[in-house]
Amino acid sequence: MLYLYVKQFHVFSVLSSIALFMFRGGLMFAGSRLLFHPLVKIAPHVVDTLLLTSALWLMALVHQYPFVQDWLTVKVVLLVVYIVLGSFALKRGRSKFQRGVFFASALLVILFMLTVARTHQPLGIFSGWAG
């Protein structure tokens, strides 16, 4: 029973994190000063901390760990890639075009990460193609 609650909280945290990333991206592309509001700057850190905490709790509950289970290793690697791409999308990109490319790339990484999580396969949606 605890597992179901933690998993639901984790899924909610994932969706909240993605929504905040997309919201911040929209503000950035619109050139909105709201992007610099303290709440908009702090909320993603709070949500991502809850997301990471729920992920660690789930790992402990089901005894599955990165570098032991391939699919979790891929998720961790993709998470690092997403963080780097997101950083360039929202802060470090030199032009709006560059930021747009990084933003779209980060969203694609998120989508692939979701398929890895859903299938529990390192190739995610492409696992059926690998034979």
Q: What is the pLDDT of residues 17-64, one digit of tens each?
A: 999 999 999 999 999 999 999 999 999 999 999 999 999 999 999 999
Which pLDDT value is given to residue 131?
60
pLDDT in tens, 58-99: 999 999 999 999 999 999 999 999 999 999 999 999 999 999
pLDDT higher than threshold 80 for residue 130: no
Euclidean distance between the first and final Cα of the chain, in Å?
Answer: 35
74/87 Cα distance (integer angstroms): 20
Could you tell me the two tokens for 27?
A: 């503000």
Of 106, 124, 108, nearest to 116 (Cα)?
A: 124
